[in-house]
Structure 1
């Protein structure tokens, strides 16, 4: 009996040693991607890992998972290099997914962003539009406006593959709260609300890419608002047309009459929401706009603008520039 007991203890100790050895043994893995979907059991996960060559012994993975008693996170993972079963388990437990870059550039609007998300394989644009143009969804985050336009900063983000819409929106908003809200809490808002500053920033972003011009154009917009003049900004017409699927890439005189609250040729004041994303630089340029007597501007080369104080001066410069 004692011999049997001693042999049993020996086998048990040997099993533990072998288990721990296999658990901590590292083997080289070539870059291998797997997707763990919601609802996958530990057994399913261990089978996938073994079939892909990420682990060599799924029994050890299963036992270790049972000992830990914690769930593994769904997601898209890439395993590469020298990893042990314990390393693999930790990666799945902590949700260290493989992330993919997604860039929003200054001046892109929600329609542009939706198309890009679909093109790059993240999300169907219809799902994106349904969510971001909903006032009810906006209320979930206690944000002002009719849509999320202006709340998604131009930046390179790292997103998981096949993300749900709320994950995408929360990722974009995290950057807004970190980089934009502190600027919008400035006491130097010239009597305008933070949301109005955002709208003006989007107009400036669409009008110029030149850093030195941004505070000047912001000043022109402020001057026209104070005088009760229509802003007459072409990108607002383009945005109005894009919202209803009528923008064809060419702005005509007839389009300037398009009836929309966004059309600043038809309606006075600011459009109801921003019309695009905008950089922090542009936001600061609006808050610290340059005070001038300018009321008009145009561009000859599509880049640099020519400014005027009166309409007569404006016409003279245009005639001289476009004889």
Structure 2
């Protein structure tokens, strides 16, 4: 049963009677007036026999029918939108329209052109009556509690040995998202961070495939395979064409990826390639060594 936002006690009583949950709307309304608690909107499920008092308490306590919605590390806003539609929570277009609106980002006092990177990997308990706004607020609540405390640590750290004296928290978020997409091996994350910082400091382009895939997905032009022609796409996210970081994060990232930005390994690595057994990466300092590693590990 859907109890809409802003419904009065009597309107709620009418809905409950109409749905066959209570036998008499006037009894419910009278009980509600006597106890005068705020009745909370949402989708409620009633199975079996309930007394009028039980039903009142359930709605007053906000015991809405909830379901779990999971964001996994590496999901981007487009992935989340597709999941929401697949799970019949929200239309993909409605979510995308809200989360890629720069003005909405500003309303929450955040940096960036979209909410990319601000929705942490987590299983969220959500109401079936969610909107793009209420979902965003749920996701941001976890971000503020779990991720925002690292802002002071990052912005007070001296990164001179790795890149430049100071980096912003948002830059750290972008780097964390790149790390998330580049490796699934936890112990490798500080090494990937090291390569990213070394390349940024030297003025090299990052040449990170997932940034190109993100650019293609934004244009609905990715078919699951990355070609040499794709690497030429005209997009600020294409790190094969543009030096420096992409303009926003490219996905949701785990805390361990952010920790890798806070504590990157100190190395002279500039290159890496997926190992032959696909259990990790092989790192190298020089391009010649990298070519050798590519030849050895990308054999059929």
TM-score, length-scaled by structure 1: 0.84
Counterpart of 2:163 in structure 1 is none
Matches of 1:301 and 1:133 in 2, distance apart? 38
Summarize deviations over 1:36-69 as a string: whole Å, max 9, x none: 2345554453344346554344432122123345
Query: 1:258 aligned to 2:225?
Result: no
Q: Where does the alignment leave 5 or more consecutive residues of structure 1 unmatched?
A: 1-33
Aligned residues: 290
Counterpart of 2:43 in structure 1 is 76
Larger strand share, 1 or 2: 1
Counterpart of 2:162 in structure 1 is none
Matches of 2:105 and 2:38 in 1, distance apart? 32
Superposition RMSD in Å: 1.9
Counterpart of 2:136 in structure 1 is 169
Q: 3-state SS of the aligned residue for 2:190?
A: helix
Matches of 1:302 and 1:168 in 2, distance apart? 36
Query: 1:127 aligned to 2:94?
Result: yes
Residues 320 and 69 of structure 1: is their aligned pair in 2 closer, same or farther, counting only changes over 3 Å? closer
Q: Where does the alignment leave 5 or more consecutive residues of structure 2 unmatched?
A: 160-165
Matches of 1:38 and 1:317 in 2, distance apart? 60
Summarize deviations over 1:113-168 as a string: whole Å, max 9, x none: 01111111111111111111111000001101111000000000011012122110
Counterpart of 1:307 in structure 2 is 283
Q: 3-state SS of the aligned residue for 1:64?
A: helix
Kindly indicate whether the alpha-carbon contact (under 8 Å) linking 1:121 and 1:162 is maintained by their aligned counterparts in 2. no
1:92 aligned to which of 59, 64, 80: 59
Displacement of 1:94 after TM fit? 3.2
Kindly indicate whether the alpha-carbon contact (under 8 Å) linking 1:205 and 1:282 is maintained by their aligned counterparts in 2. yes
Matches of 2:188 and 2:53 in 1, distance apart? 57
Matches of 1:52 and 1:260 in 2, distance apart? 53
Residues 182 and 150 of structure 1: is their aligned pair in 2 closer, same or farther, counting only changes over 3 Å? same
Q: 3-state SS of the aligned residue for 1:103?
A: strand
1:287 aligned to which of 248, 257, 262: 262
Query: 1:321 aligned to 2:290?
Result: no
Query: Who wins on radius of gyration, i.e. which is larger?
Result: 1
Q: 3-state SS of the aligned residue for 1:181?
A: coil
Query: 1:212 aligned to 2:187?
Result: yes
Counterpart of 1:278 in structure 2 is 253
Counterpart of 1:22 in structure 2 is none
- Segment drifting more, 93-102 vs 212-221: 93-102
Matches of 2:233 and 2:279 in 1, distance apart? 26
Matches of 2:60 and 2:290 in 1, distance apart? 65
Counterpart of 1:232 in structure 2 is 207
Counterpart of 1:7 in structure 2 is none
Kindly indicate whether the alpha-carbon contact (under 8 Å) linking 1:189 and 1:287 is maintained by their aligned counterparts in 2. no
Displacement of 1:301 after TM fit? 4.2
TM-score, length-scaled by structure 2: 0.91
Displacement of 1:91 after TM fit? 1.9
Matches of 1:57 and 1:166 in 2, distance apart? 35
Matches of 2:298 and 2:101 in 1, distance apart? 44
Matches of 1:82 and 1:207 in 2, distance apart? 53
Q: 3-state SS of the aligned residue for 1:185?
A: helix
Counterpart of 1:112 in structure 2 is 79
Residues 303 and 243 of structure 1: is their aligned pair in 2 closer, same or farther, counting only changes over 3 Å? farther
